[in-house]
Structure 1
């Protein structure tokens, strides 16, 4: 009797292991299928723009002043504005600060000067002061997604990653089609070592704006960290096609994958 029970238990145990293994194989196949479908969609984008000025189509151009410029690498992305968003922010403009301070003293309920002054503070890397002004602006006008984006940038540079993610989520709540918020979330997750989540965010950015070369660039780095070397290669090749300025740097990275 004991022997029969042992045999039955063994059969159930083996069946469970086989069933679990089948589930894992099935999930791997589904994941590969999703990946291949995503890649086909992204490659179709390149075919659609073949023969056009790909540098012009690089989405960094649509952000106004190329804040997300190709000269920013993942390592230098948070060292401050490499290219200021407005010429007035290029230096510590004493006259402009004096003007904004005056406007704020005249009317503390006017949100505009707080946002402008916060941007000035951020450009000269006074992030704590910038956040203070963004807080005041948002208190007066909680519906401008740009204020949350800028405050998220400042939190990010101070390595307040939870606060930065909350601000980027708020951007997406107010503007669901925003691309930069997904991109910025990807960068935060890279810093946190959550490369799987970073890949998800870069993929969302690409799904909304498939010409964003820098998203392919960064996703390639995240995939490399995950050991997905073929996916890294694909991402970097896509980034090069969209923005030839990446060629020298990324071709070197691609060659290193073959070592």
Structure 2
């Protein structure tokens, strides 16, 4: 398994060997891990079901007595879609057997699927304390949870540990690369993501991240070739179409960018991301009514999203509908008090509306805000690269002869460039 992690037959044979020695608990955990790697494997699914059926034919309201039966019951419940009940069973398991490493490992993974990331971190750290310190997957899963909570330094550390245990782990290289991109270490990110592609060349996610990293480094032709490979592998993957649209938008081919985003909308009409990206392209072309319509549709699907609210605010700024812009930026800040782009937009809108004192107060808050590194998100990067905020501030500079005003606005512009 260490040398051939992508060979599902080895997992199956190892599980059968464990069952021969009555190690059902280890076999169950092994097959559960195998199913996460090979969800379409009929042989592994049948073997996993065969083991679980022995312990789950009784009424589920009766909790088992044996430790391994607890684990099997929880995994069965999770597979059947009753994730909350699975968590209850695992919490009872860890209460009764507080030194059972595998119980905490399973609890961490299932908590993550419910979005309970802080609790997942606690469970996975406990598993490492108890005996999983040399388990590559536990460190990898812990890295995922740290990344989900914005703790990128800790995520990077866990991915490094995971890779040090098992060097040929493509997913760990991929996620490490994504985090390195987020903190601006693009050269290191490129190395990790390229390794992920080489280890698993049929993974469209790896090709997509490779394409985006190439795009960050302005290697446009290579980026387009890489995203084409991702789309060849997974033509119905929305993220691949979004990445393709972002790259086309970045090189100024708005027509192809709109085509990519329209394809994504057709694949997922209830996903706000492609609508937002389409709205940004339309806005950059000055097609403000169409942009407003697309962003409003996106907002209907994700009404509290600070990024979409700020994008809509930018459109209203262009339309000189300053009251509407102010409302959008205020709502954006209400939903995310640390969202710097919304503060800059609000200050710009207030200034344009001749509410100078309020604008200055907002800009002062911006200058005191600490910029936080976050993982690459296509629609957010597009919002920045569309340059609408900078253009609006430049418009304010051009509209005044007051040297103090010009100097103040230029300071804000420099701050914004620093964020980008």
State TM-score, norm by structure 2.
Answer: 0.40
Give the whole-Å Cα distance in 1 for the aligned partners of 2:118 and 2:148: 12
Give the whole-Å Cα distance in 2 for the aligned partners of 1:59 and 1:160: 32
Number of residue pairs aligned between Structure 1 and Structure 2: 191
Gaps of 5+ in 1: 1-53, 72-80
3-state SS, counterpart of residue 150 of structure 2: coil
2:160 to 203, 225, 245: 203
Distance of aligned partners of 1:111 and 1:156 in 2 relative to their CA distance in 1, 3 Å threshold:
same
Aligned 1:137-216 pairs, distance under 5 A: 137-175=93-131, 176-216=133-173
Deviation at 1:142, TM superposition (A): 2.8
Question: Which residue of 1 is the match for residue 325 of structure 2?
Answer: none
After superposition, give the CA deviation of every residue in 1:220-256 in whole Å (9 maximum; x if it has no partner). 1111111111111000111122222236435423432
Distance of aligned partners of 1:254 and 1:203 in 2 relative to their CA distance in 1, 3 Å threshold:
same
Gaps of 5+ in 2: 12-29, 219-420
Aligned 1:76-91 pairs, distance under 5 A: 86-87=45-46
Task: Say what the alpha-carbon RMSD is for the aligned residues.
Answer: 3.4
Aligned 1:20-99 pairs, distance under 5 A: 56-57=4-5, 64=31, 66-67=34-35, 69=37, 86-87=45-46, 99=57
Question: Which residue of 2 is the match for residue 226 of structure 1?
Answer: 183
Distance of aligned partners of 1:174 and 1:83 in 2 relative to their CA distance in 1, 3 Å threshold:
farther
2:86 to 130, 140, 144: 130
Q: Which has the higher contact order (CA 8 A, sep 6+)?
A: 1
1:255 to 184, 208, 214: 214
Contact 1:59 1:211 (8 Å CA) reproduced: no
Give the whole-Å Cα distance in 2 for the aligned partners of 1:168 and 1:83: 27
Contact 1:109 1:140 (8 Å CA) reproduced: no
Give the whole-Å Cα distance in 1 for the aligned partners of 2:70 and 2:158: 30
State TM-score, norm by structure 1.
Answer: 0.62
Is the counterpart of residue 238 in structure 1 residue 195 in structure 2? yes
Contact 2:87 2:111 (8 Å CA) reproduced: yes
